[in-house]
Structures are given as structure tokens and as C-alpha cells.
Amino acid sequence: MLAVKLVDESSKPVGSARAAVDVRRANQCKTAPLDDHIAMEVPVAMVYNGISHAVMMATPADLKDFALGFSLSEGILTDTAQLFNCDVKNVEHGLSIEMRIANSRLAALKQRRRNLTGRTGCGLCGTESLESAIRPVRNVTAPIVSDDAVQRALKMFPQHQALQAQTGASHGVAWCDLTGSIIKVREDVGRHNALDKLIGALLQAHTDLSQGFVLVSSRASYEMVHKSCAVDIGALVAVSAPTSLAIEQAAAAGQLLIGFAREGRHVIYNNPWE
């Protein structure tokens, strides 16, 4: 069996992004024991005023950023001031983020849950739910981002992804200013989680989201476009390709969408200024 031990040797997983594991590496028919580092992945429950709304599989770091970002990008909250309190607790089988939110937002959440009773981890079930599968995307104003700024951010991106460098199993999401300087980064085993963590961190710091762009180490899916537009992020740059729905939603929202961003090249899929 693999023996897993937390790198910080703490019995509590909160804040522990990686763990050490004893493995044997095979190379040309030879094996040798060694320590490897792996990304932590645990169930994290989003609990609002005592009601469990969702359970996400996430890296247990930057969880208060995660809670705020998830709440805003999913439309549960419409303003940071509507989150009154946030505590992270160790519970059996995982972690619980227990939030106290404004009563008006709790009422809206309860109504939403009643309307989406068929929702599962695989999407939405039922003919009526198909109408709710693609939510209206928020209109944004795209900043003017130069090709040089995109390339500068890409060049610096790897050195800001410590967890990825250690484990090879995480996604990174960066906030970049309009010169391409990387200001803030969050990482997680899930790309949506990493984006939510970044959103939470940016809004807690009162960042002007009109003055930069988001760079993601993954593909640009519909949800990445939708989440970023939900908080007025006008430009999204992805290392991999966008999906067809992501392009459609970016066009509808007026968001600058760039994909296949690699050193020396990138593809502009939607530019409202052209």
C-alpha cells in the first residue's frame, strides 16, 4: 500500500496543498523507492446558514477565498458585503465551509434549489432543466490587451505555479495587469476551483478588474467564461483551447477570449474591439 503523510505532518488538512507518498519508480525494468509529492484533494462542503448547498472536490488551501469566489461566481451572492462570516471546519470525511449570508440571498438560494432539484454532478436532469443548463451570461467590458502582454504573462506563469511544479497535478489561474505582470495566483486540482479562489482573493483585495486579464492553465470552458463574466472580468486567456459554447458565451458577453496561448503564439477567438 502507499503510505501517505502530510508534508507539514499536521493531522488537519486545512491549508495543506500537498502530501508526501512513498512510491517505487520503474525505469527500464528497474525499480527504486523514493518519496513523491502529490496534490491534496478532499471533499469540501459549501454550507450557507446551516444548509449544505454543494460539495466540491478541492485542494484544501485558500478556502475562504474559495468560499467567496464560488458564492459570487455562482450568483449566490451579488456583493462581498452579503457574506457576514466564514469558518472552515474539519468534519468527518472532509471539510465544511460554513458561511453566514444575508437573509435575502438565502431566500434566493432556497428558491433556486427548488427550481433545480434535478441537478447532479453530471449536469441537469429533465427536459425542463435544459432551459436552466445555460444561464444568461453577464455583459462585460473587455480591456485592450496587447499581444506582448499575453506573451509576457505566459513566460512568467510557470514560476508562479509552485503546487504544479511540486506535484504535476494542479491547475493555475493568474491575475495579470495590462502590461502582462502577474499580480496574484491561485492553484487547485480543479480549474473551476482555482478560478473561484482567485476571484475571492481579488475581490477581498478590492482589485480593479477592469485593469487586467485572467490567465488559466487549462482549456476555456463555458463555466470559466461564465464565472469570470459574473464578476466583471472582461478578458480570459487560456493555455489550451476554448469550447464552442465558451466562444458563444464570450461573444454574447463582450469578453475578450484567447486560447492556445503558448510561447510565441496565441489565438484570439473573440475580440469585441475588432
State the catalytic residues. Answer: 122
Q: Tell me if 119 is assigned to a ligand binding site.
A: no
Helical packing angle, 63-73 and 222-230, nearest 10°: 90
Residue type, 99: M
Q: Tell me if 100 is assigned to a ligand binding site.
A: no
Q: Tell me if 265 is assigned to a ligand binding site.
A: yes
Tell me the DSSP string of 114-137.
Answer: HHTTTEETTEE-SHHHHHHHSPPP
Non-local (6+) Cβ contacts of 234 within 8 A are: 140, 141, 142, 143, 209, 210, 213, 254, 255, 256
Q: Tell me if 260 is assigned to a ligand binding site.
A: yes
For 162, counting Cβ atoms within 10 Å of its Cβ (0-12 exposed, 13-18 middle, 19+ buried), the class is middle
Q: Tell me if 264 is assigned to a ligand binding site.
A: yes
Annotation: binding site: 260-265
